[in-house]
Amino acid sequence: MKRGQQGPPYTPCKLFYDGLERLGVGDYLKTPAGSAYLIERVRINRNRPYRQHLECVRWPAAEIPADARVFPLHWYPRNRRRGRTLASLRES
């Protein structure tokens, strides 16, 4: 799937998230383009404590509950390996 294309809802995926916020199971990530992800599992990287490894499900943004914790997600390229991306928390 090329960048910018939406996959079907509820598709499992894995992400890296760099940020100071501690994400938890049941939290949501939302991109400026409107894509959303429900976090199902979180693992903290032992060498880089700011990096969280996430197992997520692509989620329809319209179905995010009003009382849910939603964090911004901004993509940036990862230079070490082609074809992989990292997500980071940036102040809006």
Residue 5 lies in a domain: no
Ranges assigned E (strand) in the chain: 12-18, 28-30, 36-44, 51-59, 70-72, 74-77, 85-88
At residue 91, the pLDDT reads 45
Residue 32 lies in a domain: yes
Q: For 36-83, how does the pLDDT look when each residue is reduced to its tens digit (9 = 90+)?
A: 999 999 999 888 888 889 999 999 999 999 999 998 888 766 666 554
Residue 4 lies in a domain: no
Count the domains in the chain: 1
**What residues make up the domain containing 65?**
12-88
Q: For 2-37, how does the pLDDT look when each residue is reduced to its tens digit (9 = 90+)?
A: 444 555 678 898 988 887 778 899 999 998 888 899
